[in-house]
Structure 1
């Protein structure tokens, strides 16, 4: 029985051997497919972690650069002379009525105008509970400035001895009864060397600017970038943040709370995502990127589908062969081969050179398939180059270093570039439109159109010299240059300068161009792009219409220019004295020294603007000095050198000395009135020249000289005569004795009064009273 059964199974296995082979073939397919699927998923996850950390670090570097700009300005601002003078003022006089306050308002307004990220700047004076801001001066928490919730944090910091800190985030109320908005604020307590808080500088950052900054990075639509403060409170995030709950945020922050690493990637279950974070030592903020957990799996879904389909196909074949005999399978195969031979006979009639050999026909099929794949690859490349959106994203990814790492060597990397890139070296031009001046007709939404036009000009101008591709990113146009081997750094600078002048001539608006250093391989292109962008950001205070060379250096002619500070000092001295002729000569020397340096018009205009700003700081608000003239607006409308020089001579050599002379005369009269008023009020006390000089804010030598010019006698003689006259009045009109009178007029005893009175009048106080 057993032998018969064994024989039966052998016969069945002999008939069904093909089905058995197919079923056994499923085992290696499933085994190796699973390994490939698992390995592919792990590779993609590692790539997600690497690219996420790279993006996070780029974001952190840009935020640290912004923080540095804010803190550097605050440090420079707090060391200015006008701030130091403000710290010396107590509860009186009122800072709202001082010329010093005007210069502070100008400084705050200028900073808020120059830095796009700043929403508002406050300078809070503690003793007078008053806030100086861009628009004027207001009482703390008054209707003019209802934003007051930062004071509690400032007082806590002062109690712990902290001198500077960030308040992120906090609500800001800009107008009375208006809903609060979100902002990030930097606070600096003044002065530096004293624990007593006398003033506070508050700088408020636009949350919209932070959103725009993090929105510039090419994240997928379902990824979330977030910024947290040192207390793990959310500062800002991309728009996709709205889908997260408070519990989700708590789970995300728990990742780095329990981890000592400054940066890493973890997977969390709620929400099911990968969290990549990086901690900044600059301000103790944490930057986190949230990527859904299914994102890496999407990249290997095709592999999973292939494995499943292959398994199903082999299973069906095994099922079919289990019901069909080997002979039937052979008949079916023969019919298929005959059909194929019939099709090949038709092809042979069309191609006389074709061989009847079956193997040769297989080779022809293989060649046609290879040709078809090549044509498909060419079509994809052409489609990539001609599709504007895909092309822009591809080139942007190339600049960010997200393309080159997919290739193992330079040859594979170059194969992914546009066909026009045939040279071995590369560089970039980053083109940024200069700041739009007040009263200009261009709107903010026109900036993208302007950059598009600038990119087209760069394409037309430079394509005759070298292969070029352009990319549009927020606020900038980037030109990727494929440099010939003979192209030098000097040629690169000349090309950038020619492009700057052409854009200015055609579009009637200036740009700043940052030139990237020469990259000697495609792998160095992203570094060149990043360095050019960093140089452009560091030059945020420049006057525009310039070319920034690698490393942040400005053009050679601008780099060697120096400001004629000697003639500025002499000009201001002549203006103070009211000498119009001397002021005209000093200004002429200032102009001639600038002309001798052979520097461009933009640099000359910058130096003249610096002279104007210095004069306003020294001589007070331009509205007071120039009878409501708006000097900034007048100056910025001047676009020719002769217009600027004529205007400067009219202001500094004509109008300003006259007005300053009048102001000096009025101030001198006010000073003399105050001086005599102090003597009249305090003649009965221990009055001294030093005390009056301190009260009036002048030196004793100046006060003594003024007495001689104004009165004709010395200060001691004037005070003595004044006391003698008061003594005469008391002797005539009262019954006070000499001891009481001496005390009333500022002498310590009666003998001293008698001696002084007799020396001044030739008689004693007693005889004077008896005669009268």
Structure 2
């Protein structure tokens, strides 16, 4: 504590907060400007790099397409020459040196670029192939198996990258992965899908890759070419190419779906963040891609970041020095004021800062009298309520109450008193829950204190679930008193509904003169409220208007109520929820008409709840599992109106029990049906009847038939016949058993009866069925 005080005196909290605020005001613009400058510069660098890569890709595309177009042009000129046409018209003669020399010369002229590694002139009809070095038969051609694929290609001239669509994306045997071929069907005119020969020019992939690298050597990262499916046909199928395969597929799919032939895409390769710049050629749909690491891309931005950090740090140091100077100047008046009031003790806790300490000191100096007055007012209100609670409990004599009543300023000079007890009817269908009840009663008590003049109202109190008021009056006439108290109650009820949207009922006791009768008057108001069971909710009930209930019911009425209760329980036990609900409505109506006393009505209700509990337990269930916590005696005792009690019985007792019994019944039906099916499977070869199954299962045949039809949709006889015909079809199809033998095994009296039954179910005779199955096999 001493160390904390030393630190506080040396570094006052408010001064530190003021310093921090000043630093924050100066630092935020500096940091914001620095970060903005850095991100703008970094974005410009990245964008310019992307544009540069796109330009390089465009140059690369133009370079490669120029190579391809030149190769196609020279190949097309050679293929159209009369020399080639004459060579394909007859078998080549190796002794025709002039012809072969001219063909060699034409092939050599195809080497426009150094990347052309080989060229082939192929005659399919006369079985010969001519390349740069020799003339051979087609059997010596390494990619002879590739020629049918070329012949079936829809185009007369096309490029084979080694992965034509007809190959399923895989390199066929003999093609090699390091060659790209320009294939020209011969003759060029007329165009045919069955050519006489081919002119094939091969370009080495390694040379093309080397040319690609030389053309883009100033670019960062990797540059490669792939087809429209995303296949990098120039790669070496190494580990690096495999890592790029998924990203290449994404690029191809993006181009196909969006229709954009160029763009940028970000990805992650080998734990490196990459940016991919791509461009698709409209000439042959090849896609040119540049893959650059973001780390390399942003290398130039690090210099900008370093300069930004240094500049921002210098500015922050200057701002810090200015903030310290300004803070000391601004804090000096506060320090002097704290020193002036330091003599006022505020305890060891002090305050969070200098201002809170000063506030506490000023409160101590100027608010003692106000605090004392407020404490007296609070204690007086509590004492008044405590006095009323003792009076209602019968713990005060009349003389003692009279003395304290004058001391606390209770109403005086009255001629009559009455107790008004308020209770909330129900919170169902309102925005409140049960946990809000006490808060609502407290709010109602405050409203009563505002609606009734303090000259006639003794201190309102809360007792259990009731709000109790003792109200004085200067009237003596019985009729005028009733009108007066009823008017007060009607005003309270309407205001509560207006502001709280809650229905309440109010019980009014008989008027009395001496406070010693207050306990009896309180009980009278509670007794009046119990009549809500018959009268409904939202009532104002005067005790004098209630007739005492009959302590003994007439024997006939009691017998009728018990009989109705038995019918209700019987219907519910059978799972007939709708009928049980109708009997419950009759039961409630009979109870209301019997004019029970308010003490007898809950007894009947609790007996009915107990019998419903007994149904659940007899069926093997538990009350808590089937009904839950809402279906409890305590819940019933908190309900006051007949409508609420009836709704509770139907919703929380009758319906859950009905669902529970229906579930048990469905489970029992399924078990019975499965047992009958098992008996059919075991006894299909002998005489079987529903009566025999009923005798074995100890059930009535009519009941078994109804249950079986409900679960399977067929009668017992229909199911038995269908099962036997299913076995018959299986034996006819998979065995050589005679029809007569099958008839005997299925317990038919003769073969004719079996055939008739089979034809009725299947639609054809057993012999026709076996013949059809043999034809299908």
TM-score for the superposition, normalised by structure 2: 0.35
Name the larger-Rg structure.
2
TM-score for the superposition, normalised by structure 1: 0.35
